[in-house]
Chain A
Amino acid sequence: MSASHTTAPRRWKRPPLIKNPRLRWALGLGAAIYLAVAVGTLEINWSRIYEGLDRGLVFVIAFTEPDFVQRWDDIRDGLAESLTMALTSTVIGILLSVPIGLGAARNIAPLPVYLVCRAIVAISRSFQEVIIAIFFVAMFGFGPLAGMITLSFATIGFLAKLLAEDIEDINASQAEAVRATGARWLQWINYGIQPQVMPRLIGLSLYRLDINFRESAVVGIVGAGGIGATLNTAFDRYDFDIAAAIIIIIIAIVMIAEYSSGLIRARLQ
């Protein structure tokens, strides 16, 4: 091959993402300058950081001797409340998410239903849990009821959206075949759609359960009850050893939830 060809070998390079070389360099340079300027505007108070290191150290040292005993009753109550909150809000969230998720799937819902359900999902997703929690605490007063409602509402945004997207990705011919038998709408959902999305729905629900537990600690800080409230009190009193104990427990529970939901999800499919 090489002997018979007299022309130079043709070169090949991967085409760049941005074709125009000037634009390419200008964008790169612009990004570098912006980064430098942005870093320059940060006001870093080094002496304050230095002073804070001591307090940070106290906090870190507290982790070496967490105090599970002194406030155990409060911790236990807070945990029970958080776990209850997480579980009930997940169950309520799933019950609300399934119909909304069905409605938010373009391939099975008529347009008006689709728009309404997508709007609900969008509203739920546009607020961070803490903001919703502040709203519900103002509405229902301090305590786990506000937390539970917050997390149920947040679950809709997560679960209904992902369920709807999974429904939109189903194999349409399986659903079509069930429709061709003369099945009713609900039978069609039950036989044609549900088997295709069930493993994912279960996986997402388990995932959401441990998100809800973690979030229950956060929303507690703004007064929505649970272990977050206990944690907040501990911080306010500078009881770092108690706070450390609470955080260690939260980490342990999240790890257990993560591990067991992973096991369950692996067994599905």
Chain B
Amino acid sequence: MVEDRGSRMLSLEGLVKRYKTGDRALNGIDLEVPKGQVMALIGPSGAGKSTLIRCINRLVEPTSGRVFLEEEDLTRLGQGALRLARRRMGMIFQEFALVERLTVMENVLSGRLGYVGFWSSYFRRFPQDAIDEAFRLLERVGLDQMVDKRADELSGGQRQRVGIARALIQDPAMLLVDEPTASLDPKTSRQIMRLICELCEERGLAAIINIHDVALAQMFVQRVVGLRLGEIVYDGPPDELTAAVLTEIYGEEDWSATIRKVTDEEEVADDADDDETSHAAPEPDREHMAGIT
């Protein structure tokens, strides 16, 4: 798809992950993500989506195959070099994965751990530019009034915003996003997806977003990759996801509702979100849809 090697952000070559139990989670994945591209990874539970993004920053060790971040082969890095490479990949999690007993600020600053020494981080004495950046990011995600709240005092949407700020303060080249909206309500889900995509655009970041909600993915991303049983079965633009393609990815089901609702929703999407009163009408549709996808 992308011929120019210089513009690639990430490329996976023959990536295989076999767990000790013998399950093959990934079965030789080849994938290239160009710089600045926001890509959705869809597929049924157990298809290997989480494993795939964790093999990229080696939270899960791939069994074989190679992972290139720009020109650097991540699979060959030692522990020290791997830490430095991880700084360039911000990760956003399902259920937020904030350290709940730390404050919002500490959670955000924890994104800078790869840049500071142990004692500075132990005494929470981060460099002033990191603190300035943390305040800027919290302001950008709308949480600058919550700096000293503990993470477990926040609502789901607020927590995910902190998670986003934590990933961005790493000054990453790309984002690995694992089910960012899985535990959020439909409206907040959209806001979070929009925020992630806007920030990627502002900063020119590439992103891989694992997501269950096909319709939501279609609304925001430039490319969709479908994963099934550890293999890529679809790779193309979001509007070419037909019933046949969804059946290929997820198995037999009546997809007409999902596909039709997508086109319906795109028309109302822009005015529906910022207006509290209007969400009564599209809401049932979205919930209905979430049940199907």
The 10 closest A-B pairs by CB, nearest first: A182-B114, A183-B113, A182-B86, A177-B97, A182-B87, A195-B101, A173-B97, A180-B91, A182-B83, A187-B113
What is the 8 Å Cβ interface bit string for chain B, positions 189-214, against chain A (1 contact, 0 not)? Answer: 00000000000000000000000000
Please, how many angstroms separate the alpha-carbon atoms of A192 and B98 in the complex? 9
Q: Which residue of B lies closest to A174 (CB)?
A: B99
Q: Which residues of B contact A65 (CB under 8 A)?
A: none
Q: Which residues of A contact B100 (CB under 8 A)?
A: 171, 174, 195-196
Give chain B nearest CB distance to A178 CB in angstroms: 6
The one of B85, B99, B101, B113 in contact with A184, judged by C-beta atoms closer than 8 angstroms, is B113
- Residue B102 lies at the interface, judged by CB distance under 8 Å to chain A: yes
Give chain A nearest CB distance to B11 CB in angstroms: 20
Among B92-128, those with CB < 8 Å from A are 93-95, 97-102, 106, 110-115, 118, 121-122
Q: Which residue of B lies closest to A187 (CB)?
A: B113
- Residue B292 lies at the interface, judged by CB distance under 8 Å to chain A: no
Do A196 and B113 have beta carbons less than 8 Å apart? no
- Residue B166 lies at the interface, judged by CB distance under 8 Å to chain A: yes
Q: Which residues of B contact A192 (CB under 8 A)?
A: 99
Give chain B nearest CB distance to A246 CB in angstroms: 42
- Residue B170 lies at the interface, judged by CB distance under 8 Å to chain A: yes
What is the 8 Å Cβ interface bit string for chain A, positions 154-184, against chain B (1 contact, 0 not)? Answer: 0000000000000000010110111111111
Q: Is the interface of A mostly helix, strand, loop or mixed?
A: helix
Chain B interface size band reads 20 to 34
Please, how many angstroms separate the alpha-carbon atoms of A64 and B190 in the complex? 74
Give chain B nearest CB distance to A179 CB in angstroms: 7
Q: Which residue of B lies closest to A182 (CB)?
A: B114
The one of B91, B98, B170 in contact with A174, judged by C-beta atoms closer than 8 angstroms, is B98
Chain A interface size band reads 20 to 34
| B residues neighboring A (CB under 8 Å) | 57, 59, 83-87, 89, 91, 93-95, 97-102, 106, 110-115, 118, 121-122, 163, 166, 170, 176
Given A173-B93, A174-B99, A192-B99, are A184 and B118 also a contact pair (CB < 8 Å)? yes
Q: Which residues of A contact B114 (CB under 8 A)?
A: 181-183
Please, how many angstroms separate the alpha-carbon atoms of A180 and B101 in the complex? 19
Give chain A nearest CB distance to B152 CB in angstroms: 10
- Residue A186 lies at the interface, judged by CB distance under 8 Å to chain B: yes
Do B118 and A176 have beta carbons less than 8 Å apart? no
Q: Which residues of B contact A171 (CB under 8 A)?
A: 100
Please, how many angstroms separate the alpha-carbon atoms of A183 and B113 in the complex? 5
Q: What are 14 A-B pairs with beta-carbon distances under 8 A?
A: A176-B59, A177-B91, A177-B97, A178-B110, A181-B86, A181-B111, A181-B112, A181-B114, A182-B115, A182-B170, A183-B114, A190-B122, A191-B106, A195-B100
- Residue A198 lies at the interface, judged by CB distance under 8 Å to chain B: yes
The one of A178, A181, A182, A186 in contact with B118, judged by C-beta atoms closer than 8 angstroms, is A186
Q: Which residues of A contact B97 (CB under 8 A)?
A: 173-174, 176-177
Please, how many angstroms separate the alpha-carbon atoms of A151 and B83 in the complex? 41
Please, how many angstroms separate the alpha-carbon atoms of A176 and B163 in the complex? 13
What is the 8 Å Cβ interface bit string for chain A, positions 176-210, against chain B (1 contact, 0 not)? Answer: 11111111101110111001101100000000000
Please, how many angstroms separate the alpha-carbon atoms of A8 and B48 in the complex? 52
Please, how many angstroms separate the alpha-carbon atoms of A242 and B85 in the complex? 70
Do B93 and A177 have beta carbons less than 8 Å apart? yes
